[in-house]
């Protein structure tokens, strides 16, 4: 099996395994105790904190180990908002943040706070000016990921941090995807990350709160981890997380160059090998190992199963996957195609021959899925101005497939009206028009579902 889903989780690094096993023997005692075994555990915890802080670029007493990256995000956002509640009840996030950030924003709204969701370009990047424009006198906190987990686009953190600093607003950076590759530059105020993203064990997160940032811990707390992560520390996992972060950083420069070449090869060759494909995300300012593309007329869940049968573990932001019935919020915010979406995220050490085999297998897999779904073939033109396609009750990508089948049967300037009750159609039909150089006219309520109008231009 070729594992191409490193953006979800990275296999345990050999250094992490060694450190974990060693810490199981030497780090089992309570590090808050003064006897010998307790002091030994405290030394391990302090050394892990120093190593992690050096990798992040912060002071050791600014860094807290949490039970997960998600917990780090929730704790960081809640604590920063509470610490600045006298300033106001306004939060800024980007539209493509990780779900943990967006869930925190939703909880804040439910409590009466106000949230501004900054839109992104079609590449998935925010504009620093848009963040600056969103800042208000009552803004308590702004959040921005360092790089997107679905499409790999890097965000202008330094520029946004400067705008926030000038306004006196702290910036929380979700660095989960990027921290294994290097420090996050810029004057950020809070940072979160998760060890399983860089080859550490799962169940270890990082929360950094810079000195001077107003922060009020929410909920019950104790004396451990500055009160920000109550409970007994998972010391063996913490030691392994810090050791693996240091190890991957020593390899990051060389490996980034190699993975960039491999992902550039995928970005260039997939559209050449497979027709009707859109490669998404920023082409240059991006993480080394992630490349994402969407295939027209393909059921995303079926495509992933077929690639799994061929020996490739990949993921998808498609709305046609078993985990969700709605399109990825990232792809939706970008305004790109969601159907048949594939994210390839290469782990360190990914073999070139595995990438070549993936490129050899993909065209046949996509063609097979399209054939099963009845993908469009050329049709004769008929003289009708408006053609209604009833796709009610049919899930993606069927509404788009039906549209593609009939668009050639109306004259240039004529319209096709697609009836659909699938939420994914609201994203995928305009994205299809963008790809196929047709005009998306708009949508309107129908007796059942929604009617989407498309005008034939070519």
CA distance 243 to 48: 7
CA distance 390 to 29: 66
SS3 424: coil
The 8-class DSSP code of residue 312 comes to: E
Strand order in the sheet with 415-420: 386-390, 415-420, 450-455, 439-445
Place of tokens 């308590």: 140
* Active-site residue flag, 320: yes
HSE toward the beta carbon, residue 374, CA cutoff 13 A: 9
Nearest to 274 by CA among 403, 360, 354, 334: 360
Is there a contact between 318 and 280 (Cβ–Cβ < 8 Å)? no
HSE toward the beta carbon, residue 296, CA cutoff 13 A: 22
CA distance 410 to 389: 12
CA distance 338 to 431: 8
Query: Looking at 58, 164, 295, 320, which residue is catalytic?
Result: 320
SS3 373: helix
Is there a contact between 144 and 94 (Cβ–Cβ < 8 Å)? yes
Structure tokens at 311: 């020996």
SS3 260: helix
Is there a contact between 431 and 295 (Cβ–Cβ < 8 Å)? no
Instruction: Tabulate helix, strand, coil % of the chain (nearest 5).
Output: 40, 20, 40
Structure tokens at 424: 């994914």
SS3 129: helix
Strands 415-420 and 341-345 turn out to be: unpaired
CA distance 213 to 20: 33
List residues with catalytic annotation. Answer: 320
């Amino acid at each position: 099996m070729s594992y191409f889903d490193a953006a979800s989780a990275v296999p345990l690094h050999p250094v992490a395994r060694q450190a974990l096993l060693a810490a199981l023997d030497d780090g089992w005692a309570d590090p808050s105790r003064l006897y010998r075994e307790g002091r030994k555990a405290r030394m391990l915890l302090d050394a892990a904190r120093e190593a992690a802080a050096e990798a992040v670029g912060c002071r050791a007493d600014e860094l807290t180990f949490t039970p997960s990256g998600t917990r780090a995000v929730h704790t960081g956002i809640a604590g920063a908002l509470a610490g600045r509640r006298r300033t106001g009840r306004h939060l800024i996030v980007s539209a493509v943040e990780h779900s943990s950030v967006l869930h925190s924003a939703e909880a804040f709204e439910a409590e009466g706070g106000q949230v501004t969701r900054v839109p992104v370009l079609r590449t998935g990047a925010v504009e620093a000016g848009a963040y600056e424009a969103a800042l208000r006198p009552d803004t308590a906190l702004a959040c921005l990921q360092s790089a997107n987990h679905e499409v790999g686009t890097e965000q202008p953190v330094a520029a946004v941090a400067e705008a926030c600093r000038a306004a006196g607003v702290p910036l929380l950076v979700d660095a989960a995807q990027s921290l294994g590759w290097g420090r996050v530059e810029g004057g950020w105020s809070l940072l979160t990350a998760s060890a399983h993203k860089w080859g550490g064990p799962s169940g270890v997160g990082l929360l950094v709160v810079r000195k001077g940032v107003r922060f009020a811990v929410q909920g019950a707390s104790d004396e451990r981890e500055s009160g920000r992560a109550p409970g007994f520390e998972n010391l063996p996992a913490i030691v392994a997380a810090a050791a693996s972060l240091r190890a991957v950083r020593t390899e990051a420069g060389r490996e980034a160059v190699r993975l960039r070449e491999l992902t550039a090869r995928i970005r260039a060759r997939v559209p050449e090998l497979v027709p009707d494909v859109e490669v998404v995300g920023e082409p240059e300012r991006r993480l080394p190992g992630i490349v994402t593309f969407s295939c027209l007329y393909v059921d995303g869940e079926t495509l992933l199963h077929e690639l799994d049968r061929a020996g490739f573990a990949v993921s998808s932001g498609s709305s046609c996957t078993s985990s969700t019935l709605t399109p990825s919020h990232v792809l939706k915010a970008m305004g790109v195609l969601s159907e048949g979406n594939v994210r390839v995220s290469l782990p360190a050490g990914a073999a070139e021959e595995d990438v070549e085999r993936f490129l050899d297998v993909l065209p046949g897999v996509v063609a097979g899925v399209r054939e099963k779904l009845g993908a469009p073939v050329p049709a004769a033109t008929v003289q009708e101005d408006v053609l209604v396609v009833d796709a009610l009750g049919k899930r993606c990508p069927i509404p788009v497939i039906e549209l593609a089948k009939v668009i050639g049967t109306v004259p240039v300037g004529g319209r096709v009206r697609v009836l659909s009750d699938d939420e994914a159609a609201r994203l995928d039909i305009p994205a299809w028009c963008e790809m196929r150089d047709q005009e998306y006219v708009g949508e309107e309520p129908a007796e059942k579902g929604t009617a989407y109008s498309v005008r034939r231009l070519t």
